[in-house]
Amino acid sequence: MSSTITLSPRRITRVLFILVVFLTLASLATQYSTYYLGYDWVFGMVPKFYLGKEANVPTWYQSSTIFLAAALLALIAAAKHRTQDLFAAHWKWLAIIFLLLSLDEAAAFHELTIQPLREAFHLSGIFYWAWVIPGFAFALIVFLFYIRFLVHLPPPTRWRFLIAGGLYLAGALGVESLEGRYAEQHGYENWTYSLMVQCEEFAEMSGILIFLDSLLRYLESHVGPITLSFSEPPQNPS
């Protein structure tokens, strides 16, 4: 007995897009409720849907989608390894990077570097959230290492990768740097800071969504239909 599940790339992208819009609107609603209506709890729902908090629904969504990207990259890496593709190792390491990003999104390990770096180098302004410094360095190293890989990708996939990466980094590092400067001067318990957070997280979620769509399209056109098969092991004759 066996069963087959066929995943439609466009349907997956459509569902994820709806979730991104829902989470963004839900987060905006929580902050409007906090700063304009005076309700900052609402049976615990406000912190559970605010994009600027950890260990809540948006965090779960973002960690899950980054993990999904890692899984799709691993599928591509396996297919490339079977055909002895020149860039099989690049796909594999990209899968590992996204697996670690998924873990960090859930556990926020990067935030552990903020206080030590800030105190050691007396950082302020756009480097107030000090983790952006190693973040910038890591992103640059990965980009330089993957230039040749990007050049050999089909043009549509290459441009989608670049747009997705640029959008994600614009939120994760660019807007986050501006948030740090603003938080240092005005604090982060205010409507303006929360709006900056919404922009940051929406850019990150949109970047991952575009990247997932790119991977699904690449799998569909260069690997084949995305099919998961489940089969029972053969029975030993008695």
What are the domain boundaries of the chain?
65-225
| Strand intervals (E) in 115-234 | 227-231
Residue 82, exposed/middle/buried by CB under 10 A (0-12, 13-18, 19+)? exposed
pLDDT at 209: 97
Residues comprising the chain, all counted: 238
| Span 196-223, average pLDDT | 94
Instruction: State residue 222's pLDDT score.
Output: 77
What are the residues whose beta carbons fall under 8 Å from the beta carbon of 3, sequence distance 6 or more?
229, 230
Q: Is pLDDT above 80 for 231?
A: no
pLDDT at 56 over 90: yes
pLDDT of residue 5: 60
User: Model pTM?
Assistant: 0.91
Sequence-distant (≥ 6) Cβ neighbours of residue 27 within 8 angstroms: 49, 50, 51, 52, 58, 198, 201
Distance between CA atoms of residues 77 and 210, nearest Å: 19
pLDDT of 1: 47
pLDDT digits (tens, 9 = 90+) for 113-149: 999 999 999 999 999 999 999 999 999 999 999 999 9
